Amino acid sequence: MLKECKNGERFEGTVLVNEWKEVPFRQKPGAFLTLTCQDRSGVMQGKMWEFPPQVLNWLKEEYDIFYIRGAVSEYRGTLDLTIEEICLIPKEEIDLTALLPSSPISENELENRLQTLLDKVSNPELKSLLKQFLDHPQWGRAYRQAPAAVKVHQAYLRGLWEHSVRVAELAQGIAGHFPSIDQDLIITGALLHDVGKMGEYSYDRGIKFTTEGRLLGHIILGLELIVGEISKILEFPQELRYKLLHIISSHHGKYEWQSPKRPKIMEALVIHHADVMDAELYQFEQARNDYPDNEWSPYIPSMERFLFLK
Amino acid sequence: MLKECKNGERFEGTVLVNEWKEVPFRQKPGAFLTLTCQDRSGVMQGKMWEFPPQVLNWLKEEYDIFYIRGAVSEYRGTLDLTIEEICLIPKEEIDLTALLPSSPISENELENRLQTLLDKVSNPELKSLLKQFLDHPQWGRAYRQAPAAVKVHQAYLRGLWEHSVRVAELAQGIAGHFPSIDQDLIITGALLHDVGKMGEYSYDRGIKFTTEGRLLGHIILGLELIVGEISKILEFPQELRYKLLHIISSHHGKYEWQSPKRPKIMEALVIHHADVMDAELYQFEQARNDYPDNEWSPYIPSMERFLFLK
Amino acid sequence: MLKECKNGERFEGTVLVNEWKEVPFRQKPGAFLTLTCQDRSGVMQGKMWEFPPQVLNWLKEEYDIFYIRGAVSEYRGTLDLTIEEICLIPKEEIDLTALLPSSPISENELENRLQTLLDKVSNPELKSLLKQFLDHPQWGRAYRQAPAAVKVHQAYLRGLWEHSVRVAELAQGIAGHFPSIDQDLIITGALLHDVGKMGEYSYDRGIKFTTEGRLLGHIILGLELIVGEISKILEFPQELRYKLLHIISSHHGKYEWQSPKRPKIMEALVIHHADVMDAELYQFEQARNDYPDNEWSPYIPSMERFLFLK
Amino acid sequence: MLKECKNGERFEGTVLVNEWKEVPFRQKPGAFLTLTCQDRSGVMQGKMWEFPPQVLNWLKEEYDIFYIRGAVSEYRGTLDLTIEEICLIPKEEIDLTALLPSSPISENELENRLQTLLDKVSNPELKSLLKQFLDHPQWGRAYRQAPAAVKVHQAYLRGLWEHSVRVAELAQGIAGHFPSIDQDLIITGALLHDVGKMGEYSYDRGIKFTTEGRLLGHIILGLELIVGEISKILEFPQELRYKLLHIISSHHGKYEWQSPKRPKIMEALVIHHADVMDAELYQFEQARNDYPDNEWSPYIPSMERFLFLK
Amino acid sequence: MLKECKNGERFEGTVLVNEWKEVPFRQKPGAFLTLTCQDRSGVMQGKMWEFPPQVLNWLKEEYDIFYIRGAVSEYRGTLDLTIEEICLIPKEEIDLTALLPSSPISENELENRLQTLLDKVSNPELKSLLKQFLDHPQWGRAYRQAPAAVKVHQAYLRGLWEHSVRVAELAQGIAGHFPSIDQDLIITGALLHDVGKMGEYSYDRGIKFTTEGRLLGHIILGLELIVGEISKILEFPQELRYKLLHIISSHHGKYEWQSPKRPKIMEALVIHHADVMDAELYQFEQARNDYPDNEWSPYIPSMERFLFLK
Amino acid sequence: MLKECKNGERFEGTVLVNEWKEVPFRQKPGAFLTLTCQDRSGVMQGKMWEFPPQVLNWLKEEYDIFYIRGAVSEYRGTLDLTIEEICLIPKEEIDLTALLPSSPISENELENRLQTLLDKVSNPELKSLLKQFLDHPQWGRAYRQAPAAVKVHQAYLRGLWEHSVRVAELAQGIAGHFPSIDQDLIITGALLHDVGKMGEYSYDRGIKFTTEGRLLGHIILGLELIVGEISKILEFPQELRYKLLHIISSHHGKYEWQSPKRPKIMEALVIHHADVMDAELYQFEQARNDYPDNEWSPYIPSMERFLFLK
């Protein structure tokens, strides 16, 4: 793993090249390559002082997963990789989880926490819907693999799953203080509120927006998916259906945040707050990890403020 | 028709009672009824000085279509109806178009203008979609009957149809100046951009929001409907599908106006402007009709300004 | 109690007169009085057709608590009080809790729930601060009596206490999902976030804003109070003090909502969300109580929307 | 022309130097010059490794049009000019159209399209005004030469003319759907709405804001100009004058976009939309030209979004 | 004067009728008139129980200045006028200052204060411009008579003059603390910043917006007027001209307040603040006059707050 | 002083190192240091090509005041310092005023202008409060030393003092035009409105935000300080106290600018405007100093515009 290498050591392994540039030498003709290399442990800047023309072609054709060999050295206090050899990896040999970061919470734990939540749902139609969705060969797998964001919060594999479970747990705890809230709808709505993100991001290389993600967004993609799933369940009650779709439509809470509706039922209001809190508190925790010795984080654009980390 | 009655004449006919109140007499016990009566020609205030208790029960049970008899008299410069007799109409005898106002443009003319637009669409999938939708036993009928708004613009029967045709004509004209715009997509998007209004409003009595209209809004209801229709067409191209759904999603143009996306393709941008212009210019024309002698309209809340009518 | 009287019954008791008007008769000289009467059970419109001149003087001098006698009769479907006799009540005989509504949660229950929360606080300085504040002869009593708002949410006696306990319970539950949050600070901050409302509202008659409330607001009044209380505690840690004051300063969450700071610590963020959720969900519950048969609430200005009540 | 040169070729010609910097060598004393060179075909970065001191003086005195000689070579995949010789061009020999880009639409075509529009105007005062303005020795020439913007849309010579004609054509087409709109006023207003840009930008070198442009803006400069022109026409009707001035004042449509008034007549509303659409659709077309192979444009700040280019 | 009449007295005099309504009797046929009567001392509600048909015609033809006779009586604690006789006043006999309120500051005092300001201006072109404007037969008179607003601040005759002098005095005092500010430009700009209000309001009856006021607003009307006046002065320096026009354009300070430019010179910034302060502090003084015994004003919509009056 | 050195001269003296970086050599191993050096005369970039490892340790431990020796040479038209020797200065030998810029107005002059203002205050409690505060061993000294901002306006030693005196002078002049304004409150409020800045910024090295400054802001820190000072004065009138605290709370004028209240008394309104004007006009003066030859300033982010400097 890249992050385990120390100054003076050698590295061999598979990396994802996120960005690259051909940089001309300043005082002689020709150019060298800079390559931003990533595996699941993190990111390291690489340089390749000499390279066969073939490499440039690969990069221009948007190949981005390579096997590389090189030496690690310190430079400005950070480590840097001088790449000596680089070769292409056949598509069928690529293992995504080796290249992208994943949730710090294991699959096992997430599955257990998800199961605990499911066990609490007693409404038969919601139970069916959840089961059908989570056992769906395509959705069930993607739901457990997709990231929750391109950046900002849980931008890693299993991020959507982690975020959904956390929001459901939070929302369910909050709802416990209000007897008139429907807990089954809370859990179902929370687990499904972001399913459109499976289509909004692609993550077979780095995490990126898809065309349908940009044209429609995860709220509409999620609605479309859930409308389709509900249609397979006989006699799903009309009002329950509207409420569940309303939760998805309104979970961003404000028009300016691209929610076409604002919460008009208690369950939607609670899920909206749980969603915002999970995303924002995640950023506090992240800032504490990233700057363990700081009193204050740098300016966090997504929260428009500095965070106090003590 | 109510609007044809003059001071001193008698009225007999079917009306929709929009609002009612039981008003106590000021200097004696008891109360009289005020009833806001409407037929397709307009609205008139009615009073019923004496009434059998049965009438109050009908009104409390939300019956609102009655056959009435009474006398018209002038009062404060406006006409007023003194109701002498009132009786309930069986549901099966109700003719909606006699009670609600309709578009000033006839069905015939709208059908012709619609056909002219359809004839210009050559893309086979869009052609199929339009045909399938407009010939659909339920949608085809509702599309030609629903209003375009609860108030503000084209708030009458056939309003959606009228608005859709006008927006399509406008958008097509605009698009004609830009060769890279896809005219087929313009016409299809414009004709279908507001179809969710069929579910957002009910209009079997006055025009009102439905529960699903308030919980989801016409953008999402329209997307759901079109997603369903497209799914019946074999090999509808994926990109074309996203573009059409994007047009519906973004036709309000701004997040604050409840569009979850802003126009990112030329066709969506043109349809957004055509939609706004048709709605706003309608209000100018309406103000001129309502205040034929005024230089200035009263303050128009939906446009946040006074309009100059000369 | 006013709300217990039925059509045709007589009423005798103490009321608070919220508003009054002298209304001239329409067709004869002279005037009658309308008086909006309130006791803790609710509000009833009163009329006094004849009255000694003394009554007008009392009202003009802003006396507003009276002993009245009269008859209840139905009028437009609502009950109405014809007042026959009215007399002033000496200040020392006034019992506020008979005149203003109170929280539906009993003092006993609130005290128990408060105690449960206090028992969880182990930080010695925060424990001291809470004890000192809640046992303070003036603050302790006012905290348990003040309303939480002039209108909108918990606008009744014990409303501040009820709201504070609920926010503390909610916030503590939420914080339980985030190990790095300081639960002692959460409970203390939540219980004290609104203490400035004791000075922002007066409630010896109806609930009204005070001059200091309007000039400074409950955030600043609360900060001032807590700064004073902390100063009595030896060696209260500086950083803890800033954090607690920051929680109070930022609990409205946004500048536009009159918070001079936005949450920059996790505890402040959680308390902000708990505060908003308690106030907003209260309004859902209130709307359900007020309109038990409605599908939809009327437009709720404080939430800028209609609420779905099914 | 700069854009026609290929790797390894030599260049000789006149260029406008938009920006320049003296860059110190990193490992030896002294400095070289970087010069951003432009002719009407486009922009190329130049470097001058050695230069007589005179060149620095010229640049510091803000001379910016030079005759240069040098060699073109590839560098980071883009072409780059190594300048060997540079000399000043006398003012009288400068040909602006060789240095700045121009509208892709020829003068001939624009003049024809303008004439077609003028022929449709029958109102005698508007006809006089247009003729007088377009034949004015100073305005007529400047109108046909000025750019429409500093950047964003039609930021090239003849841009104002092109934009005005396009807006007039668009607005006229839209107005054709609304019988109560005055077509003469539409054409006149559209052709004149932006005339203040002749004073807002200078374009004798690159396109820049003038002092009066920054202090007053093109709306006010345009109003001033048209007020002056109208004053030369006998008995120009007062109401028509107000309407035309209102169109100019309100054509940005919103206060935040620096329009002191919002459209209050139909003609102003249509011209506002036509203006926005022409500017925005231009950016779509521009993005397609600039990124012919992309699915998505980069982020477009003036539109605050990414554009889909397929 | 209306405000001098007491209960039981009779009134005879000329009034402006601002509003009128024909109100049907509740329990008999026929109707009476209510007339809102105003002279410069204030406003009083009038009623006319019987009236010749001619009166209704006058009112419908928008005559609004009458000679009336009647009796004053108290009613709901306010005085009320029972009109017995009403007749039309020939146009040539109308004296506007008897009917509309005027500035509490006398003409003499305003003229003196204006003269003091003028004496401080030494720049020859600005001096000429002020003299030419203030001595202009039409502008000089209108400037000294027009109101400063329709409501909100100085909404009375001589209000523009009073406001202009006060803003000039304020701005000049502020500018005195900043040596680089041009005092001549401050005084000229302050005296002329609102001259467009002469055309924005009509005040031959009550104070109302004109058509040109609504279509163009006082900033543009003022610019037009000053552009015209400057054009009569030989060799008025170009830069000074732009600065003065910029002051007028930017004096509202923000786009949302309909300023097409924001202050970019010190003089414009000072005049903007002086203008806002004069208008806002006027409202404090007005509220103190209107509610001499109150601690707090009612809610003041134009300032969006309650004012503390102690 | 740094700013006095010329090309080719040597420099010896004490500097504050604001920022530093270790920059690797491009074509050889190892790195050099860049150090941004500052004394009260200004800032100069320094480079140290070789350095003992000890220097790096000092910098990493956040030592930032050093005695340095080196040579000044010109580089890209600006001067640059090649540092040859650097050594640490013992804390007790540091003289802050040699390192940070100070107000251009001398202590003497500020003290005189302050005294002139104090002499005008006759209200005994406000007089006591000002004296007590200004003679306080800690506050009196800090008030005369603290900066008024981190950047933007008066970001130098004595900046708070200078700003406070200027605002008081300005506000007092403005208030002189309004007889009902309390001049004593104006002067006291203006002198004390920003005292919280003493705690919001630290300035023992460069000017930086403190933790309490970021968590609470200078409005709340100032309120806390003044509440404490007032509490030492016997019988300070309650209403006067609220007004003074209100002035501090509302001096930013808008919620979005972090004022929890908006001005509700005349004195607060005037101080708000004086505060804004002093800060904004300062930026005009600053821009004129920084760009003495420019017609226009560069874009000024804090004012969101370009300033005209002629």
Domain ranges of chain E: 2-98, 107-290
pLDDT score recorded for residue E76? 57
Picking from B53, B89, B96, the residue whose alpha carbon sits closest to that of residue B68 is B89
Angstroms from D276 CA to nearest CA on chain A: 22
CB distance from D241 to chain B under 8 Å?
Answer: no
| CA distances (Å), origin C258, targets C219, C267, D268, E10 | 8, 19, 39, 54
For residue E106, CA distances in Å to E102, E145, E159, E288 come to: 9, 12, 11, 21
Mutate to test the interface with C, among F211, F214, F216 (most CBs of C within 10 A): F216
Residue C76: which of B24, B211, B215 has the nearest Cβ?
A: B24
DSSP secondary structure, E158-215, as one string: THHHHHHHHHHHHHHHHHTT-TTS-HHHHHHHHHHTTTTHHHHEE-SSS-EE-HHHHH
Which residue, among D266, D164, D147, has the nearest Cα to D209 in the 3D structure? D147
Out of A253-262, D35-44, F90-99, least confident range: F90-99
Give me the mean pLDDT over the E216-232 stretch.
Answer: 97
Query: Which whole number is the average pLDDT over D37-51?
Result: 87
Please name the member of C26, C76, C308 whose beta carbon is closest to the beta carbon of B215: C308
E128-164: pLDDT as tens digits: 999 999 999 999 999 999 999 887 788 899 999 999 9
The C-alpha atoms of residue C162 and residue D27 are separated, in whole angstroms, by: 73
Handedness of CA A115, A117, A122, A124 (dihedral sign): negative
CA dihedral D241, D246, D251, D253 (to 10 degrees): -160
Instruction: List chains touching D (3+ CB pairs under 8 A).
Output: A, B, E, F
Question: What residues of B are in contact with residue D264 (Cβ under 8 Å)?
Answer: 305-308
Cα F117 to Cα F112: distance, rounded to the nearest angstrom: 9
> Which CATH number is associated with domain C2-98?
2.40.50.140
| Cβ–Cβ below 8 Å for D249 and E223 | no
Q: Does C32 touch chain B (CB under 8 A)?
A: no
Report helix, strand or coil for A155: coil
The strand pair at D42-48 and D78-88 is best described as parallel
pLDDT at F75 over 90: no
Q: How far is C18 from chain B (nearest CA, A)?
A: 24
Residue F32 has what pLDDT?
A: 86
| CA distance to partner chain F, nearest, from residue E62 (Å) | 41
- Report the helix count and the strand count for chain D, using DSSP H and E: 11, 7
- Rounded CA-CA distance E51/F116 in Å is 70
Can you give the pLDDT of all 310 residues of chain B as single tens digits?
A: 888 888 888 999 899 888 888 876 755 667 889 898 988 888 888 999 888 888 988 888 878 889 999 998 876 567 889 999 999 888 778 887 788 889 999 999 999 999 999 999 999 999 999 999 999 999 999 999 999 988 778 889 999 999 999 999 999 999 999 999 999 999 999 999 999 999 999 887 678 899 999 999 999 999 999 999 999 999 999 999 999 999 999 999 999 889 999 999 999 999 999 999 999 999 999 999 988 888 999 899 899 999 999 8
Q: Flag residues of chain C having pLDDT under 70.
A: 24-29, 75-77, 205
Are F261 and F284 within 8 A, CB to CB? no
A305 → chain F, closest CA residue: F214
Residue D29 in this model has a pLDDT that exceeds 70? no
For CA atoms B254, B256, B259, B261, the dihedral sign is positive
**Whole-angstrom Cα distance, residue A208 to residue A201?**
5
At C88, is the secondary structure helix, strand, or coil?
Answer: strand
Closest alpha carbon to F33 in D27, A73, A76, D24:
A76
Inform me whether the pLDDT recorded for F29 exceeds 70.
no
How far apart CA C232 and CA D105 sit, in angstroms, is: 80
- Which carries the bigger pLDDT value, residue E97 or residue D303? D303
User: CA F242, CA E308: separation in Å to the nearest integer?
Assistant: 11
What pLDDT score was predicted for residue E52? 87
Tokens of F202: 């630290």
Q: What is the pLDDT of residue E75?
A: 65
pLDDT at position C101, please?
A: 87
Give the mean model confidence (pLDDT) for residues E19-24.
Answer: 81
Neighbours of F82 (CB within 10 A): 15
- The CATH number given to C107-290 is 1.10.3210
Q: How far apart are CA E92 and CA E114, in angstroms?
A: 31
Of F22, F27, F215, the CB nearest to A308: F215
Among A109, A278, A134, A272, CA closest to A193: A272
What does the mean pLDDT of chain D come to?
A: 91
Most confident of A229-243, C33-47, D5-19, E15-29: A229-243
pLDDT at E61: 79
- The reply to whether F118 touches chain A by the CB within 8 Å rule is no
CB of C91 within 8 Å of a chain A CB? The answer is no
CA distance C27 to chain F (A): 45
Of B23, B24, B214, the CB nearest to C306: B214
Task: Tell me the per-residue pLDDT of D163-217, one tens digit each, with 9 for 90 and over.
Answer: 999 999 999 999 999 999 999 999 999 999 999 999 999 887 678 899 999 999 9
Please report which helix (H) or strand (E) contains residue C75, including its range.
Answer: strand C65-75
- What type of residue sits at position E88? L
Subunits adjacent to chain C (3 or more Cβ pairs under 8 Å): A, B, E, F
DSSP state of C66: E
Residue D73 burial (10 A CB sphere; 0-12, 13-18, 19+): middle
Partners of residue A273 in chain C, C-beta under 8 Å: 273, 276-277
Per-window interface: E 4-23 vs B, CB < 8 A: 22-23
Partner A contacted by C61 (CB < 8 A): no
| Partner B contacted by E29 (CB < 8 A) | no
Q: Determine the Cα–Cα distance for residues E227 and C252; give it in Å rounded to an integer.
A: 50
Q: Is F60 on the interface with A (CB under 8 A)?
A: no
CB–CB of C273 and A270 under 8 A? no
Give the Å distances, CA to CA, from F59 to A295, B270, E182.
Answer: 18, 59, 49
Q: Does the beta carbon of B288 lie under 8 angstroms from any beta carbon of chain D? A: yes
pLDDT digits (tens, 9 = 90+) for B233-284: 999 999 999 999 999 999 999 998 899 999 999 999 999 999 999 999 999 9
Is E15 a residue whose pLDDT tops 80? yes
Q: Which residue has the tokens 């900033």?
A: E219
Q: Give residues with Cβ within 8 angstroms of E154, minimum separation 6.
A: E103, E147, E148, E160, E162, E163, E279, E282
Residue D297 to residue A214: CA distance in whole angstroms: 12
Rounded distance between C-alpha atoms, residue A102 and residue A100, angstroms: 6
Mean pLDDT computed over D244-269: 95
Q: Is D178 on the interface with A (CB under 8 A)?
A: no
pLDDT attached to residue E204: 74
Record the tokens describing residue E24, joined without a space.
């049907």
How many Cβ atoms are within 10 Å of A61's Cβ, its own excluded?
Answer: 8
SS3 D74: strand
Interface test with B, best of E214, E216, E258 (most B CBs within 10 A): E214
C211 contacts in chain E (CB < 8 Å): 295-296, 308
Residue in D76, D296, D308 nearest the CB of A22? D76
Closest C-chain CA to F259 = C260
Mean pLDDT by 10 residues, chain A (310 residues): 84 88 70 87 87 87 88 76 90 80 94 98 97 97 93 88 98 96 98 96 83 96 97 95 98 92 97 97 93 90 93
